Amino acid sequence: MAQLISELSKNKDIIIGICYIISAGLFIFGLKFLSSPATARRGNFLSALGMFIAVVITLWSKNVIDFKWIVIGVIIGALIGAIASRVITMTQMPEMVALFNGFGGIASLLVGWSAFVMAPQALTPVSNLTFIAVILSVLIGGVTFTGSIIAWGKLNGLVYQKAFLFPGQKFINLILVLGILTSAVLVCIPGVGGKNILFYIVIGGAFVLGVMSVMPIGGADMPVVISLLNSYSGIAACAAGFAINNILLIVSGALVGASGIVLTKIMCKAMNRSLANVLFSGFGSVTTAKGAGETGEISPINAADAYLILEAANSVVFVPGYGMAVAQAQHAVRELGELLEENGCDVKYAIHPVAGRMPGHMNVLLAEANVSYDLLVEPGDVNPTMETVDVCMVIGANDVVNPAARDDETSPIYGMPIIEVDKAKTVFVLKRSMGAGFAGIDNPLFFKPNTRMLFGDAKASVSALVSEFKET
Ligand code: TAP
């Protein structure tokens, strides 16, 4: 054993390099597998394995010989993780991700801070570059930390959930940013005195900026913001990697930073909103926005009558939305889908990219209920065939099926791609009331002649339909 350790120590740099390459490869393949629900679990496992190898090798390479505190930390962390994975419900996942991002941000800040404390005065041209990396890790890490805490608070209702706007807000933010940047530049210039104070101004300013950046954003826009903060946490980690000259931290931070930005862009596109609109428009600060102002007769239906139509249908498309998550109706939906298939009906599940409140929300719920991935279709694939569909069942979705997004140029969501359920022969809308969805606007779909409103909790309504099928 002693001989093995001595052999390993002789080739330490080569071993570290090989392990870092393996870890980076595992991160990349992990990300690739995460892009499909069918392979996501494998992706998660590969990424975790990559991180495990990276941590062990980094500790070994730094000659950490007293593992006592590290082992204690691992045990505490693993316990918190195991308990959280049991008690956190699917609808709370965005909150959990917000906290993860925040911890990532503060970790990068602490790495940058320690690098600063260890070498504050060594200002050669090379160390100037290191200083820039230190400042970036502290600045972006600080913004990510407090921004994520506010995002978490907004999602769970501890912080004012709507967009918080006040007069002069943009001007104050501008002064804040200028103050931080000036201090940051001065820290990096050799010979400037008072670097410690300037450095702490950057940290304090970053904390305040994180709060000021997220407060003006409406609580329901948080998934986009969380994805952006996820990207920030990656960039902060990347900068921290440069600060301590750790290649793997640079690679993994860059991967997180880039994938977070891509996800943010996908979400903005699916809502037909620019990132600037999400960040600065104060969407959701007022609830006066309306759709076409549609009024008229609605046609309610009960489960017994809805069953008769479903029983005769040759094709049914389920369109789940946020309400399915709230009602936890996914298992009942899958059961109904299976009964329809047994009845000779063609069943599909149409998933809108921003249905629900987090990316992939509907995919995860349907996967949990063991709905086959082959049955999932995207709006672009199902919309052209919609006129041939006998019944579209809208399960707690609202904005993502709102025809105003297609037909009403004055609608706040005009231009957002929708699932065109109104073109199906019959539409069942399962929701509890005539209440609006996330965008807070009317939905003309409810008043269409081919729409039937099946009021009630989605799980109760779908279960009632399942009972009708089983009883007859
Ligand atoms: P929403 O438009 O928010 O509508 C959800 C509907 O579910 C509500 O109208 C509500 O009506 C109904 N509902 C709530 N609880 C229910 C229950 N227990 N049983 C039955 N129905 C229930 O949802 P959507 O169509 O999924 O659209 C998502 C919205 O969130 C979009 O506007 C999107 O832009 C936004 N958004 C999404 C994301 C991501 S990443 N997914 C990110 C940011 C923003 P009742 O109260 O009448 O029941």
| Distance between Cα 397 and ligand 1 center (Å) | 5
Q: Are residues 168 and 224 in the same domain?
A: yes
Q: Are residues 268 and 307 in the same domain?
A: no
The answer to whether residue 371 scores a pLDDT higher than 60 is yes
Average pLDDT over residues 168-173: 90
Q: Does ligand 1 lie within 6 Å of residue 439's CB atom?
A: yes
Q: Are residues 371 and 267 in the same domain?
A: no
| Distance between Cα 347 and ligand 1 center (Å) | 22
119, part of any domain: yes
295, part of any domain: no
Could you say which of 246, 280, 314 is where a domain stops? 280
Atom 43 (ligand 1) nearest CA? 221
Could you say which of 247, 280, 313 is where a domain stops? 280
| Distance between Cα 197 and ligand 1 center (Å) | 47
Atom 1 (ligand 1) nearest CA? 437
308, part of any domain: yes
> In this predicted structure, what is the pLDDT of residue 128?
72
**Structural domain count of the chain:** 2
285, part of any domain: no
288, part of any domain: no
pTM: 0.79
Q: Does ligand 1 lie within 6 Å of residue 457's CB atom?
A: yes
Q: Does ligand 1 lie within 6 Å of residue 356's CB atom?
A: yes
Other C-beta atoms closer than 10 Å to the C-beta of 111 total: 23
Q: Does ligand 1 lie within 6 Å of residue 97's CB atom?
A: no
Output 97-101 pairs: Cβ under 8 A, ≥24 positions apart.
Answer: 97/226, 97/230, 97/358, 98/148, 98/149, 98/151, 98/152, 98/155, 98/222, 98/226, 98/229, 99/148, 99/149, 99/152, 101/144, 101/148, 101/151, 101/226, 101/229, 101/230, 101/232, 101/233
Q: Are residues 311 and 209 in the same domain?
A: no
Catalytic site residue 221?
A: no
Q: Does ligand 1 lie within 6 Å of residue 226's CB atom?
A: no
Average pLDDT over residues 324-345: 96
118 or 243, which is more confident: 243
Average pLDDT over residues 342-352: 96
Could you say which of 222, 245, 280 is where a domain stops? 280
Share of the chain above pLDDT 90, in %: 59
Burial environment of residue 127 by CB neighbours within 10 A (0 to 12, 13 to 18, 19 or more): middle
Output 116-121 pairs: Cβ under 8 A, ≥24 positions apart.
Answer: 116/199, 120/195, 120/196, 120/199
The answer to whether residue 221 scores a pLDDT higher than 80 is no
Atom 4 (ligand 1) nearest CA? 437
The string of pLDDT tens digits covering residues 15-64 is 889 999 999 999 999 999 988 877 888 999 999 999 999 988 888 887 76
Q: Which CATH number fits the domain that encloses residue 442?
A: 3.40.50.1220
Q: Are residues 248 and 356 in the same domain?
A: no
Q: Are residues 367 and 261 in the same domain?
A: no
The string of pLDDT tens digits covering residues 383-438 is 999 999 999 999 999 999 999 999 998 887 888 889 999 999 999 999 999 999 98
Q: Are residues 270 and 318 in the same domain?
A: no
**Token pair belonging to 337:** 């889908």
Residue to mutate, 154, 162, 264, 322, ligand 1, most ligand atoms under 8 Å from C-beta: 322
Q: Are residues 323 and 408 in the same domain?
A: yes
Query: CB–CB of 362/395 below 8 Å?
Result: no
Return phi, psi of residue 143, to 5°.
Answer: -60, -45
Q: Are residues 402 and 444 in the same domain?
A: yes
Q: Are residues 211 and 314 in the same domain?
A: no
Q: Does ligand 1 lie within 6 Å of residue 273's CB atom?
A: no
Q: Does ligand 1 lie within 6 Å of residue 432's CB atom?
A: yes
Q: Which domain holds residue 330?
A: 303-471
Q: Are residues 143 and 274 in the same domain?
A: yes
| Distance between Cα 441 and ligand 1 center (Å) | 12
112, part of any domain: yes
Q: Are residues 243 and 109 in the same domain?
A: yes
Query: CB–CB of 364/97 below 8 Å?
Result: no
> In this predicted structure, what is the pLDDT of residue 340?
97
The answer to whether residue 291 scores a pLDDT higher than 80 is no
> In this predicted structure, what is the pLDDT of residue 27?
95
**Token pair belonging to 319:** 């369109």
Residue recorded with tokens 């919609």: 386
- Residue of 221, 399, 422, 442 marked active site: 399
- Sorted by sequence, the CB contacts under 8 Å of residue 59 that are 6+ apart come out as 67, 70
Q: Give dist(CA 286, CA 332) in Å, integer.
A: 36
The answer to whether residue 124 scores a pLDDT higher than 50 is no
Helix intervals (H) in 189-246: 195-214, 222-244
The answer to whether residue 125 scores a pLDDT higher than 60 is no
454, part of any domain: yes
pLDDT band at 292 (very low <50, low <70, confident <90, very high): very low
Q: Does ligand 1 lie within 6 Å of residue 221's CB atom?
A: yes
State the maximum Cα–Cα separation within the chain, in Å, rounded to a whole number.
Answer: 86
The string of pLDDT tens digits covering residues 191-214 is 888 888 999 999 999 999 999 999
> In this predicted structure, what is the pLDDT of residue 123?
45
> In this predicted structure, what is the pLDDT of residue 367?
87
Closest ligand 1 atom to 353 CA? 41
Query: CB–CB of 37/367 below 8 Å?
Result: yes
